[in-house]
Amino acid sequence: MFSPVIFFADFIQILAFVLTAAILVRIVLSWFSIGGAAPFVRLLFEITEPILAPIRRVIPTAGMFDFSCSLDHSPASLLDRWIGPGG
């Protein structure tokens, strides 16, 4: 039987997973000198930047380290645990 609540919870869980994966890929790509002209990199930045930019305004970078990715990963992980199976 179809339940809108379960559908919405599953949708939020999948969205949190996709955003977390995109942020982790962005972290890994930041270790390499890959230009921003590649279509995949541009798409990745378009997906993650609206989430990371507000965090960067509150928490500035510390030298060459950008902690906004790790701070964003924590709420997404908590949301996934809260909504996920057995949550």
Q: Which residues of the chain have pLDDT under 70?
A: 60-87
What is the per-residue pLDDT for 38? 83
What is the per-residue pLDDT for 77? 60
Q: How far is CA 41 from CA 31, 46, 63, 73, in A?
A: 13, 9, 23, 19
Which residue ranges make up each domain of the chain? 4-83
What is the per-residue pLDDT for 82? 62
What is the per-residue pLDDT for 59? 74
What is the per-residue pLDDT for 86? 53
**Residue 85: alpha-carbon gap to chain centroid:** 20
Handedness of CA 69, 70, 73, 74 (dihedral sign): negative
The answer to whether the predicted template modeling score (pTM) of the entire model surpasses 0.75 is no
Name the average pLDDT for the chain.
77
Long-range contacts of 81-85 (CB under 8 A, 24+ apart): 83/9, 83/12, 83/13, 83/16, 84/13
